[in-house]
Protein backbone atom coordinates (compact mmCIF):
# COMPACT_ATOMS: atom_id res chain seq x y z
CA UNK A 1 0.00 0.00 0.00
CA UNK A 2 1.30 3.45 -0.90
CA UNK A 3 0.17 5.98 1.73
CA UNK A 4 2.75 8.70 1.18
CA UNK A 5 4.09 11.15 -1.39
CA UNK A 6 7.26 13.23 -1.49
CA UNK A 7 7.99 16.95 -1.60
CA UNK A 8 11.45 17.62 -3.07
CA UNK A 9 13.66 19.90 -0.95
CA UNK A 10 16.79 19.06 -2.95
CA UNK A 11 17.60 16.77 -5.85
CA UNK A 12 15.98 15.23 -8.88
CA UNK A 13 13.81 12.10 -9.13
CA UNK A 14 11.66 10.24 -11.59
CA UNK A 15 8.75 7.81 -11.42
CA UNK A 16 8.60 5.01 -13.99
CA UNK A 17 7.17 1.61 -14.87
CA UNK A 18 8.41 -1.28 -17.01
CA UNK A 19 6.38 -2.50 -19.98
CA UNK A 20 5.78 -6.03 -21.30
CA UNK A 21 8.99 -5.87 -23.37
CA UNK A 22 11.13 -4.79 -20.40
CA UNK A 23 11.38 -1.15 -21.52
CA UNK A 24 11.18 1.63 -18.94
CA UNK A 25 8.54 4.38 -19.28
CA UNK A 26 9.27 7.51 -17.25
CA UNK A 27 5.98 9.02 -16.04
CA UNK A 28 7.25 12.10 -14.20
CA UNK A 29 10.41 13.99 -13.28
CA UNK A 30 10.57 16.13 -10.13
CA UNK A 31 13.08 18.73 -8.88
CA UNK A 32 13.07 21.21 -6.00
CA UNK A 33 9.58 22.35 -4.87
CA UNK A 34 7.79 19.63 -6.87
CA UNK A 35 5.77 16.72 -5.55
CA UNK A 36 6.30 13.16 -6.72
CA UNK A 37 4.62 9.89 -5.80
CA UNK A 38 3.00 6.72 -7.02
CA UNK A 39 -0.27 8.58 -7.59
CA UNK A 40 -2.34 5.73 -9.06
CA UNK A 41 -1.65 3.71 -5.89
CA UNK A 42 -1.72 6.68 -3.49
CA UNK A 43 -5.13 7.91 -4.64
CA UNK A 44 -6.88 4.55 -5.05
CA UNK A 45 -5.38 2.32 -2.38
CA UNK A 46 -4.48 -0.16 -5.10
CA UNK A 47 -1.11 -1.91 -5.09
CA UNK A 48 2.02 -0.02 -6.14
CA UNK A 49 2.33 0.51 -9.88
CA UNK A 50 5.29 2.90 -10.21
CA UNK A 51 8.93 2.91 -9.14
CA UNK A 52 10.44 6.12 -7.73
CA UNK A 53 14.15 6.64 -8.40
CA UNK A 54 16.53 9.35 -7.14
CA UNK A 55 18.60 10.63 -10.10
CA UNK A 56 20.73 12.81 -7.77
CA UNK A 57 21.35 12.88 -4.01
CA UNK A 58 17.96 13.95 -2.67
CA UNK A 59 16.50 15.57 0.43
CA UNK A 60 12.77 14.83 0.58
CA UNK A 61 9.80 15.48 2.81
CA UNK A 62 7.81 12.25 3.05
CA UNK A 63 4.19 13.18 3.75
CA UNK A 64 1.78 10.48 4.87
CA UNK A 65 -1.74 10.43 3.43
CA UNK A 66 -3.38 10.43 6.89
CA UNK A 67 -1.43 13.59 7.83
CA UNK A 68 -2.41 15.23 4.57
CA UNK A 69 -6.07 14.32 5.15
CA UNK A 70 -5.83 15.78 8.65
CA UNK A 71 -4.43 19.02 7.20
CA UNK A 72 -7.46 19.27 4.87
CA UNK A 73 -9.69 19.25 7.97
CA UNK A 74 -7.58 21.80 9.85
CA UNK A 75 -6.92 24.14 6.90
CA UNK A 76 -9.90 24.04 4.49
CA UNK A 77 -8.10 26.40 2.09
CA UNK A 78 -5.62 23.61 1.45
CA UNK A 79 -8.45 21.85 -0.42
CA UNK A 80 -8.36 24.66 -2.95
CA UNK A 81 -4.56 24.40 -3.33
CA UNK A 82 -4.80 20.62 -3.80
CA UNK A 83 -7.69 20.94 -6.22
CA UNK A 84 -5.77 23.37 -8.45
CA UNK A 85 -2.60 21.20 -8.31
CA UNK A 86 -4.69 18.18 -9.30
CA UNK A 87 -6.36 20.06 -12.15
CA UNK A 88 -2.91 20.92 -13.53
CA UNK A 89 -1.72 17.34 -13.00
CA UNK A 90 -4.74 15.88 -14.78
CA UNK A 91 -4.45 18.32 -17.69
CA UNK A 92 -0.73 17.64 -17.99
CA UNK A 93 -1.23 13.86 -17.98
CA UNK A 94 -3.88 14.09 -20.71
CA UNK A 95 -1.75 16.50 -22.73
CA UNK A 96 1.27 14.19 -22.56
CA UNK A 97 -0.84 11.34 -23.94
CA UNK A 98 -2.24 13.51 -26.74
CA UNK A 99 1.18 14.94 -27.63
CA UNK A 100 2.64 11.45 -27.66
CA UNK A 101 0.31 10.55 -30.55
CA UNK A 102 0.07 13.86 -32.38
CA UNK A 103 3.62 15.27 -32.32
CA UNK A 104 6.67 14.24 -34.31
CA UNK A 105 9.72 13.02 -32.38
CA UNK A 106 11.40 16.41 -32.83
CA UNK A 107 8.29 18.30 -31.70
CA UNK A 108 8.07 16.13 -28.57
CA UNK A 109 11.65 16.99 -27.63
CA UNK A 110 11.24 20.71 -28.36
CA UNK A 111 8.05 20.73 -26.30
CA UNK A 112 9.87 19.00 -23.45
CA UNK A 113 12.74 21.50 -23.28
CA UNK A 114 10.28 24.40 -23.56
CA UNK A 115 8.11 22.98 -20.77
CA UNK A 116 10.91 21.85 -18.45
CA UNK A 117 13.94 24.08 -19.14
CA UNK A 118 15.39 23.66 -15.64
CA UNK A 119 15.18 19.88 -15.72
CA UNK A 120 16.68 18.95 -19.06
CA UNK A 121 20.33 19.64 -18.13
CA UNK A 122 20.09 17.43 -15.03
CA UNK A 123 18.75 14.29 -16.66
CA UNK A 124 20.50 11.59 -18.67
CA UNK A 125 19.67 11.13 -22.33
CA UNK A 126 18.06 7.71 -21.90
CA UNK A 127 15.79 8.93 -19.11
CA UNK A 128 14.51 11.79 -21.26
CA UNK A 129 14.03 9.32 -24.12
CA UNK A 130 12.03 7.01 -21.82
CA UNK A 131 9.81 10.00 -20.90
CA UNK A 132 9.23 10.96 -24.52
CA UNK A 133 8.62 7.37 -25.66
CA UNK A 134 11.47 7.46 -28.18
CA UNK A 135 14.80 5.62 -28.41
CA UNK A 136 17.98 7.19 -26.93
CA UNK A 137 19.46 7.05 -30.45
CA UNK A 138 16.59 9.14 -31.87
CA UNK A 139 17.02 11.65 -29.07
CA UNK A 140 20.79 11.92 -29.70
CA UNK A 141 20.17 12.60 -33.38
CA UNK A 142 17.63 15.33 -32.55
CA UNK A 143 19.89 16.96 -29.95
CA UNK A 144 22.79 17.12 -32.44
CA UNK A 145 20.56 18.88 -34.98
CA UNK A 146 19.07 21.48 -32.65
CA UNK A 147 21.20 24.66 -32.58
CA UNK A 148 22.28 25.96 -29.15
CA UNK A 149 20.39 29.20 -28.43
CA UNK B 1 -11.25 28.50 -25.38
CA UNK B 2 -13.03 25.71 -23.50
CA UNK B 3 -14.72 27.17 -20.40
CA UNK B 4 -17.34 24.48 -19.77
CA UNK B 5 -17.82 20.82 -18.98
CA UNK B 6 -20.86 18.55 -19.15
CA UNK B 7 -22.79 16.53 -16.59
CA UNK B 8 -24.70 13.68 -18.25
CA UNK B 9 -28.41 13.50 -17.36
CA UNK B 10 -29.16 11.01 -20.15
CA UNK B 11 -27.15 9.38 -22.91
CA UNK B 12 -23.65 8.25 -23.69
CA UNK B 13 -20.69 10.28 -24.98
CA UNK B 14 -17.00 9.98 -25.65
CA UNK B 15 -14.04 12.37 -25.89
CA UNK B 16 -11.36 11.60 -28.47
CA UNK B 17 -8.47 12.96 -30.51
CA UNK B 18 -6.99 12.02 -33.89
CA UNK B 19 -3.32 10.96 -34.16
CA UNK B 20 -0.74 11.71 -36.85
CA UNK B 21 -1.91 8.69 -38.88
CA UNK B 22 -5.57 9.75 -38.78
CA UNK B 23 -6.58 7.15 -36.19
CA UNK B 24 -9.03 8.06 -33.43
CA UNK B 25 -8.03 7.65 -29.76
CA UNK B 26 -10.96 7.61 -27.34
CA UNK B 27 -9.90 9.22 -24.06
CA UNK B 28 -13.09 8.84 -22.03
CA UNK B 29 -16.63 7.50 -22.18
CA UNK B 30 -19.42 8.99 -20.06
CA UNK B 31 -22.95 7.86 -19.22
CA UNK B 32 -25.61 9.10 -16.77
CA UNK B 33 -24.20 10.86 -13.67
CA UNK B 34 -20.70 11.19 -15.14
CA UNK B 35 -18.85 14.33 -16.11
CA UNK B 36 -17.13 14.77 -19.45
CA UNK B 37 -15.15 17.61 -20.98
CA UNK B 38 -12.02 18.67 -22.79
CA UNK B 39 -10.12 18.68 -19.50
CA UNK B 40 -6.65 19.60 -20.85
CA UNK B 41 -8.15 22.77 -22.38
CA UNK B 42 -10.67 23.41 -19.57
CA UNK B 43 -8.06 23.29 -16.80
CA UNK B 44 -5.24 25.14 -18.57
CA UNK B 45 -6.96 27.69 -20.80
CA UNK B 46 -5.03 26.25 -23.75
CA UNK B 47 -6.77 25.67 -27.07
CA UNK B 48 -9.15 22.75 -27.53
CA UNK B 49 -7.43 19.38 -27.84
CA UNK B 50 -10.31 16.88 -27.67
CA UNK B 51 -13.54 16.29 -29.58
CA UNK B 52 -16.70 15.41 -27.65
CA UNK B 53 -19.19 13.16 -29.47
CA UNK B 54 -22.70 12.03 -28.45
CA UNK B 55 -22.99 8.27 -29.08
CA UNK B 56 -26.71 8.32 -28.17
CA UNK B 57 -29.35 11.06 -27.89
CA UNK B 58 -28.13 13.03 -24.88
CA UNK B 59 -29.50 15.39 -22.26
CA UNK B 60 -26.63 17.32 -20.70
CA UNK B 61 -26.02 20.01 -18.12
CA UNK B 62 -23.46 22.43 -19.53
CA UNK B 63 -21.64 24.02 -16.60
CA UNK B 64 -19.48 27.07 -17.21
CA UNK B 65 -16.13 27.33 -15.45
CA UNK B 66 -16.92 30.74 -13.95
CA UNK B 67 -20.13 29.34 -12.40
CA UNK B 68 -18.24 26.39 -11.04
CA UNK B 69 -15.56 28.70 -9.57
CA UNK B 70 -18.33 30.78 -7.98
CA UNK B 71 -19.80 27.63 -6.42
CA UNK B 72 -16.40 26.86 -4.86
CA UNK B 73 -16.56 30.24 -3.11
CA UNK B 74 -20.16 29.81 -1.97
CA UNK B 75 -19.88 26.14 -0.94
CA UNK B 76 -16.34 25.45 0.32
CA UNK B 77 -17.17 21.75 0.82
CA UNK B 78 -17.47 21.49 -2.93
CA UNK B 79 -13.68 21.87 -3.04
CA UNK B 80 -13.41 18.56 -1.21
CA UNK B 81 -15.81 16.85 -3.65
CA UNK B 82 -13.86 18.24 -6.62
CA UNK B 83 -10.52 17.29 -5.09
CA UNK B 84 -11.60 13.66 -4.60
CA UNK B 85 -13.07 13.47 -8.13
CA UNK B 86 -9.81 14.85 -9.52
CA UNK B 87 -7.73 12.39 -7.48
CA UNK B 88 -9.74 9.54 -8.99
CA UNK B 89 -9.45 11.05 -12.46
CA UNK B 90 -5.69 11.47 -12.18
CA UNK B 91 -5.20 7.95 -10.84
CA UNK B 92 -7.42 6.51 -13.57
CA UNK B 93 -5.57 8.41 -16.33
CA UNK B 94 -2.19 7.17 -15.06
CA UNK B 95 -3.52 3.62 -14.67
CA UNK B 96 -4.85 3.58 -18.23
CA UNK B 97 -1.41 4.57 -19.52
CA UNK B 98 0.34 1.91 -17.42
CA UNK B 99 -2.18 -0.80 -18.36
CA UNK B 100 -1.81 0.15 -22.01
CA UNK B 101 1.86 -0.86 -21.85
CA UNK B 102 1.77 -3.70 -19.34
CA UNK B 103 -1.36 -5.69 -20.22
CA UNK B 104 -1.99 -8.03 -23.12
CA UNK B 105 -4.79 -7.17 -25.55
CA UNK B 106 -7.08 -9.71 -23.88
CA UNK B 107 -6.28 -8.39 -20.38
CA UNK B 108 -7.05 -4.83 -21.50
CA UNK B 109 -10.50 -5.88 -22.72
CA UNK B 110 -11.26 -7.96 -19.61
CA UNK B 111 -10.16 -5.03 -17.45
CA UNK B 112 -12.43 -2.69 -19.43
CA UNK B 113 -15.57 -4.80 -19.03
CA UNK B 114 -14.81 -5.34 -15.34
CA UNK B 115 -14.29 -1.59 -14.80
CA UNK B 116 -17.18 -0.34 -16.95
CA UNK B 117 -19.82 -3.10 -17.00
CA UNK B 118 -22.71 -0.67 -17.64
CA UNK B 119 -21.02 1.02 -20.56
CA UNK B 120 -19.80 -1.85 -22.69
CA UNK B 121 -23.21 -2.85 -24.10
CA UNK B 122 -23.94 0.71 -25.24
CA UNK B 123 -20.79 1.31 -27.25
CA UNK B 124 -19.82 0.17 -30.73
CA UNK B 125 -16.94 -2.22 -31.20
CA UNK B 126 -14.68 0.27 -32.95
CA UNK B 127 -15.14 2.89 -30.24
CA UNK B 128 -14.12 0.40 -27.54
CA UNK B 129 -11.15 -0.61 -29.71
CA UNK B 130 -10.11 3.05 -30.05
CA UNK B 131 -10.26 3.36 -26.24
CA UNK B 132 -8.15 0.24 -25.71
CA UNK B 133 -5.62 1.16 -28.41
CA UNK B 134 -6.25 -2.03 -30.38
CA UNK B 135 -7.78 -2.74 -33.80
CA UNK B 136 -11.52 -3.51 -34.12
CA UNK B 137 -10.50 -6.87 -35.65
CA UNK B 138 -8.45 -7.79 -32.54
CA UNK B 139 -11.38 -6.82 -30.33
CA UNK B 140 -13.81 -8.94 -32.38
CA UNK B 141 -11.52 -11.98 -32.04
CA UNK B 142 -11.27 -11.49 -28.27
CA UNK B 143 -15.03 -11.01 -27.85
CA UNK B 144 -15.74 -14.25 -29.75
CA UNK B 145 -13.38 -16.18 -27.47
CA UNK B 146 -14.69 -14.86 -24.16
CA UNK B 147 -17.51 -17.06 -22.81
CA UNK B 148 -20.75 -15.32 -21.84
CA UNK B 149 -21.15 -15.52 -18.05
Complex-level ipTM:
0.90
- The CA-to-CA distance between both ends of chain A, in Å, stands at 46
CB contact under 8 A, A76 and B76: yes
pLDDT over 70, % of chain A? 97
Mean pLDDT of B88-92: 93
**Helices (DSSP H) in chain B: which residue ranges?**
39-44, 65-74, 77-102, 105-115, 125-132, 136-145
CB contact under 8 A, B87 and A91: no
> Is the predicted pLDDT of residue B148 greater than 60, yes or no?
no
Report chain B residues whose CB lies below 8 A from the CB of A76.
Answer: 76, 79
> Is the predicted pLDDT of residue A147 greater than 90, yes or no?
no
B33 Cβ under 8 Å from any chain A Cβ: no
CA distance B85 to B108: 23
> Is the predicted pLDDT of residue A122 greater than 70, yes or no?
yes
pLDDT value at residue A108: 94
Out of A17, A91, A98, the one facing B17 most closely (by C-beta) is A98
CB contact under 8 A, B90 and A91: no
Tens of pLDDT along A41-84? 999 999 999 999 999 999 999 999 999 999 999 998 899 999 99
pTM, two decimals, is 0.90
SS3 assignment, position B56: coil
* CA distances for A41 relative to B89, B113, B120, angstroms: 13, 21, 25
> Is the predicted pLDDT of residue B149 greater than 60, yes or no?
no
SS3 assignment, position A48: coil
pLDDT value at residue A68: 92
B43 Cβ under 8 Å from any chain A Cβ: yes
Least confident interval from A3-17, B50-64, B66-80, B133-147: B133-147
For chain A, the average pLDDT equals: 92
pLDDT band at B130 (very low <50, low <70, confident <90, very high): very high
Amino acid sequence: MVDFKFFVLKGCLRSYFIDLSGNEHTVQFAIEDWWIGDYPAYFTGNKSSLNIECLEDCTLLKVKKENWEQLYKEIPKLESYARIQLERGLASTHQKNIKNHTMSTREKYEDFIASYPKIEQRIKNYHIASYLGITPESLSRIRKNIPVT
